[in-house]
Amino acid sequence: MNLKIGWLYPDLMSTYGDRGNVIALLYRARSRGIGATVITISVADSVDKINRADLFFMGGAQDLQQEIVAKDLRAEKGIFLKKAIERGIPGLYICGAFQFLGKYYKTSEGKILEGLDIFDLYTQSGQEKEKRLVGDMVFNPFFAPDKRFVGFENHNGRTYLGKGTQPFGKILKGFGNNGKDGTEGMVYKNSIGSYSHGPLLPKNPELTDWLVQKALQLKYKRKIKLKNLDTKYEDLARKTVIKKLID
């Protein structure tokens, strides 16, 4: 079996250790004998690279990079990305990526950056007096509500989900989508949007496996059971953050 990870805009969208998510995907796939490789997709690349990916990852960025990428995605790549997402190709979209796959992002200057309108959500940058939402976070993920996942957030945008999406997690500590409604991120088909940088996947291997499994099942059109891997160090890292914040 092999798995091609489409890493969208690594040169523009990758902050606070986001690249660690790609390393975690490669590591957990290869440890099981799955031939995992990365396809980088950026402004200069042709659109067919999107069609070759079995799984997508896209990290966060500040408003300036978001504007450049939004322009490129709107030109052509976004149409193919939307088709892939609708087909159920799994993906993880962090912070800025999560924001502009929604309807729009309103910057602090009041400028509206049109999103790709794939996810039913919109984001409004915090007003002058509102603080940036920064810090470690703990939440229960939707597919394992008894588990506690950890992440690190740093954003000004406040995201509000529409009816077409469900939250990725329920906040136990931290701000999440907007600091008000207790939601973190979103799920749509097999795509996950999240405010967790940190990076998210090395600390929460269950999510890495969820993405890898969904991607392989779609690609090979059969049920796939991933063999268990030791998560001693991942669990210890997570426990340390949770202890500091909650227990």
User: Quick one: 62 or 217, whose CB is closer to ligand GLN?
Assistant: 62
Nearer to ligand GLN, 13 or 29 (CB): 13
* Amino acid, single-letter form, for residue 6: G
**Where would I find the H helices in 89-173?**
96-100
Q: Which residues are catalytic?
A: 95, 197
**Residue 90: is the preceding peptide bond cis (ω within 30°)?**
no
Residue from 20, 26, 41, 63 in contact with ligand GLN (CB under 6 A): 63
We find the least distance from the C-beta atom of residue 215 to ligand GLN, in angstroms, to be 24
Crossing angle for the helix pair 205-220 and 19-30, nearest 10 degrees? 60
Q: Which is nearer to ligand GLN, 9 or 210 (CB)?
A: 9
Size of the site for ligand GLN (CB under 6 A): 12
DSSP helix/strand/coil, 50? helix
Give me the 140-159 binding string for ligand GLN, x by CB under 6 A, dash otherwise.
Answer: --------------xxxx--
CB contact set of 235 (below 8 Å; sequence gap of 6+): none
8 Å CB contact between 103 and 202: no
- C-alpha closest to that of 3 among 62, 24, 242: 24
Q: Which is nearer to ligand GLN, 15 or 213 (CB)?
A: 15
Interacting residue with ligand GLN among 3, 25, 36, 61 (CB under 6 A): 61
Strand partners, 62: none
Shortest distance in whole angstroms from residue 15 CB to ligand GLN? 5
Closest CA to 76 of 41, 111, 104: 41
Query: Looking at beta carbons only, is 63 or 72 nearer to ligand GLN?
Result: 63
Dihedral angle, C-alpha 91, 97, 103, 105, nearest 10 °: 170
Pair 60, 97: CB distance under 8 Å: yes
Q: Select the residue interacting with ligand GLN from 6, 20, 60, 193 (CB under 6 A).
A: 60
Q: Taking a C-beta distance cutoff of 8 angstroms, is the pair 166, 192 a contact? A: no
Q: Is 108 in the site for ligand GLN (CB under 6 A)?
A: no
Residues 178-237 touching ligand GLN, rule: CB under 6 A, are none
d(CA 102, CA 117) in angstroms, rounded, equals 5
Report, in Å, the least distance between residue 60 CB and ligand GLN: 2
Task: State which of residues 96, 115, 198, 202 lies at the interface with ligand GLN (CB under 6 A).
Answer: 96
Tell me if 169 contacts ligand GLN by CB under 6 A: no
Mark the segment that binds ligand GLN (CB under 6 A) among 58-66, 141-149, 198-206, 230-238. Answer: 58-66
Residues within the interface to ligand GLN (CB under 6 A):
15, 60-63, 66, 95-96, 154-157
